[in-house]
Every structure is written in C-alpha cells, then in structure tokens.
C-alpha cells in the first residue's frame, strides 16, 4: 500500500506535489496550533479556559477535515 502511494505521488506533476506538501504542512500547523492553544498554561490572549479549549478543538477538527480532503484527493 505504501509503495503504491509513493508511486502515485511520483506520477504527479511538480505543481501537484507542491500542493500536496503544502496541504500536509498546513494540516500540521493547524493541529499543532490547536494543541498549543489547549495545553498552554500562559496563553497570551485573555480567554476563559472553556473558550480556549473550544477554539483548540475547533482548530483540531479543521485540521482533521483538511487531512481527510488530502487523503480523498490522493485516492482519485
């Protein structure tokens, strides 16, 4: 399965590979930012913990949505 995925990625054009890497990068950015907001003790913005956790969960949900879109685009 991994070998098939690597072969499929190699068949993509340079633009498609760049957009794939960019999509994975932003998936990781949103995931880490969501975790950072949830678990940071001294958050620089004055937010109540409930709103901070809700915002972090929203960012993680958006990251998972982006990851699912990347996976579905690679299957086509």
Predicted confidence (pLDDT) per residue in 25-60, tens digit: 999 999 999 999 999 888 788 888 899 999 999 999
* Tens-place pLDDT, residues 55-64: 999 999 999 9
pTM over 0.75: yes
- Structural domain count, the chain: 1
Domain-located, residue 32:
yes
| 6 within domain boundaries | no
> What pLDDT is attached to residue 43?
77
Residue with tokens 């995931």: 31
**pLDDT tier at 5 (50, 70, 90 boundaries)?**
low
63: exposed, middle or buried (C-beta count within 10 Å: 0-12, 13-18, 19+)?
buried
Q: Which domain holds residue 53?
A: 22-75
- pLDDT for the residue 11: 75
């Amino acid at each position: 399965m991994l070998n098939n995925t690597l072969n499929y990625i190699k068949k993509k054009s340079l633009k498609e590979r760049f957009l794939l890497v960019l999509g994975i990068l932003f998936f990781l950015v949103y995931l880490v930012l969501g975790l950072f907001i949830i678990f940071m003790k001294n958050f620089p913005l004055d937010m109540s913990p409930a709103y901070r956790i809700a915002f972090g969960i929203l960012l993680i949900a958006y990251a998972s949505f982006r990851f699912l879109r990347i996976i579905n685009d690679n299957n086509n």
